Structure formats: C-alpha cells, structure tokens
C-alpha cells in the first residue's frame, strides 16, 4: 500500500487514524510472516549443512519437528487473525487442502440442532427443507467415534424466511477434532510426555493414524486459543503477596544462525499456604532478572527463589 503525500492533505484526523491503524496491522502481519519464514529457513539450513556431530538422530528430529510444527501453526494462526483485522488487504481465495472423509467404519452418534420453534414469526408453520451435516472426530482412550452434528433448515412459505440453529463454537474453526480429542492430545503430550509421533502410532492402532503434522497444528492453535486463560490466571496469581519463581534451561533453535541456543522456561507459582494452586510458565531467552521484572510488573510482595544472583 503506497500513500502519496499529496493525498494526505484532504484526509480528516479520523481518516488518518484509520489509515495508521491499517498500516500498523499490515506491519505486524509482515513481521509475523517474516519471523515464520526465517524460522523455517534456519531449521532447513541446520538440517542440511550442520556438522555431523550437530545433526539430529531420527528420534531427536521427530521431537524437534513436533515442537517446530506446533510453533509454526501458532504463528500461522496469529497471522490469520491479523489478516482478518486488516481492512486494507483485499480478500483473496485461499486454497484449502481437500480433507478426506472420516472412515465409514467408525461408530457415529447423531447430535441434532433444531430451532426452538417451528412456527414462523408471522404465525405460519414452517416446513423442513433440508439440513447441514458436520462430522467431528471424537476419541475416548482406545476408541474413535464420529459426532454427526445435524442442523435442520426450516422455511416459511408465507414470508420466505429460512431458520436454522447456529453453528456451535469450536476451538478450531471448521476443524474435525472435538474438544475431547484435543484434550487427549494435549494431556498426552504435556502431562504424560508422549511425543506426537508416538501418539500417531497409538491412534493408528485405534483405527485412524492422524499425521503428526496435523497433531502439531492442533497443538499450536490450542496454544493461541488458551492464551486468554493464561493471561487471566497470571492476573489472578499476581494478586497474592507470596510467590515462588524458578527457571530451567531448554534448547532453542536460534533463527538466523541455525544453531541451538540455551533459553529458559520460568515457572511462577503462589506460596505453599496460598489458596490458589497453579503454575504459570514464561519462556525467555535468558535467565536475567529483567525477565522476572517484566513478568511481575508492578507486583509487590515476597518472592521466593534460589540464590542465583540474577
């Protein structure tokens, strides 16, 4: 979007503010996209050109690939959100990969969604003229099943009105997994420490091998969807006067140079005698005290930690 200086003279203050907001949205979108591409490029360079001693063995590669694909899915989800916010970007048809139908041998459970009343506002009785069906994949440990959400269409011939129950909100818009399946993947990965490539094999034995790339996309999008909950949990935790904090090292692939870098995962929790039982994690590139100050903000109280000088 190129703006000529002469064209700005005739704009009001409100129009200038709207244009500035659109340009800032475009800038954030381009920055997120550049970060995603830089991250992918750094990974490919390392896998191709790294010294033999620094290359991944198959298991390390699978574990790292799971995390990278989840991160990329989270970034892609944020980019999509920024694109929707931007009014300056012209709508373009997005090519979606064709999704294969769910296996016909899986048991199915129908869930019908109908209007509360089949009587039109004009007083006439409406007729059912069709329905929309959306299938969601559900999972109870060891058994897959399919939820068939059927939304009937009702029409009034008198006033030519069509009524249909609204689509229920889903964690992944137009995605096939139910909340139960998503919870299973997240709990298995983070609570039971099952990498996604192992979950892929477990699901395969249950009758449907979900590719780890798909599982990684689900994990990344769930991370973005859960962020408001994390923010609320942090705000609630910072109301306590006693907090515990500690950090542990994790390996991070540094974009740009293709090498791993020691980063840190900080953990914050209320005191042992506080009524709230929770832990909030904050990923940082170092263990410097500035990260704790940024996380705690204006909080004042007793912080319990180890004797590290930082």
What is the Cα Rg of the chain in Å?
25
The Cα 124–Cα 45 span in angstroms is 67
Task: Report the distance separating Cα 165 and Cα 154, nearest Å.
Answer: 9
Handedness of CA 135, 136, 140, 141 (dihedral sign): positive
Averaged pLDDT, 273-277 = 85
Q: What is the mean pLDDT of residues 257-264?
A: 80
| pLDDT interval class at 97 (50, 70, 90) | low
Burial 176-200 (b: 16+ CB within 10 A, else e): bbbeebbebbbebbeeeeebbbbbb
pLDDT tier, 257 (very low <50, low <70, confident <90, very high otherwise): low
Residue 274: pLDDT band with limits 50, 70, 90: confident
Segment 100-105 shows an average pLDDT of: 86
Contact (CB, 8 A) for 73 and 219: yes
Going by C-alpha positions, the residue among 212, 97, 103, 115 that lies closest to residue 156 is 115
Task: Give residue 157's pLDDT.
Answer: 87
Whole-number pLDDT of residue 88: 46
Phi, then psi, of 154 in degrees rounded to 5 = -120, 135
**Cα 178 to Cα 147: distance, rounded to the nearest angstrom:** 8
- Provide the token pair at 106: 């899986």
Q: Which long-range contacts (CB under 8 A, 24 or more apart) does 273-277 make?
A: 273/242, 274/240, 274/242, 276/236, 276/237, 276/240
User: Hunting for tokens 């997120």 — which residue is that?
Assistant: 32
* 56 pLDDT more than 70: no
Q: Where are the alpha helices (DSSP H) in the chain?
A: 13-49, 58-85, 179-190, 196-205, 212-225, 227-237, 289-296
pLDDT digits (tens, 9 = 90+) for 58-71: 555 555 567 667 77
Q: What is the largest CA-CA distance in the chain?
A: 78
Q: What is the pLDDT of residue 251?
A: 83
Q: Which region among 2-16, 111-125, 182-196, 267-281 has the lowest average model confidence (pLDDT)? A: 2-16
């Amino acid at each position: 979007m190129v703006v000529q200086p002469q064209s700005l003279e005739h704009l009001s203050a409100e129009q200038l503010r709207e244009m500035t907001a659109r340009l800032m949205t475009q800038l954030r979108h381009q920055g997120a996209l550049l970060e995603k591409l830089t991250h992918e490029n750094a990974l490919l360079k390392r896998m191709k050109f790294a010294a033999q001693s620094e290359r991944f063995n198959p298991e390390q590669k699978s574990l790292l690939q799971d995390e990278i694909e989840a991160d990329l899915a989270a970034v892609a989800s944020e980019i999509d959100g920024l694109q929707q916010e931007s009014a300056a970007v012209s709508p373009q048809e997005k090519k979606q990969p064709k999704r294969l139908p769910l296996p016909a041998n899986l048991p199915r459970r129908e869930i019908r969604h109908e209007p509360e009343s089949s009587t039109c506002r004009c007083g006439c009785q409406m007729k059912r003229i069709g329905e929309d069906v959306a299938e969601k994949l559900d999972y109870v440990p060891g058994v897959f099943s399919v939820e068939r959400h059927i939304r009937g269409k009702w029409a009034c011939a008198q006033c030519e009105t069509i009524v249909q129950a609204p689509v229920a909100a889903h964690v992944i818009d137009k995605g096939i997994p139910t909340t139960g399946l998503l919870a299973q993947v997240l709990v298995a990965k983070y609570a039971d420490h099952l990498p996604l490539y192992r979950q892929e094999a477990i699901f395969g034995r249950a009758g449907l091998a979900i590719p780890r790339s798909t599982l990684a996309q689900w994990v990344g999008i769930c991370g973005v969807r859960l962020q408001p909950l994390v923010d609320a949990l942090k705000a609630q935790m910072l109301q306590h006067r006693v907090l515990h904090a500690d950090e542990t090292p994790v390996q991070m692939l540094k974009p740009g140079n293709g090498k791993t870098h020691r980063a840190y995962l900080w953990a914050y929790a209320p005191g042992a005698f506080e009524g709230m039982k929770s832990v909030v994690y904050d990923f940082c590139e170092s263990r410097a005290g500035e990260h704790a100050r940024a996380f705690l903000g204006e909080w004042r109280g007793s912080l319990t930690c180890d004797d590290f000088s930082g």
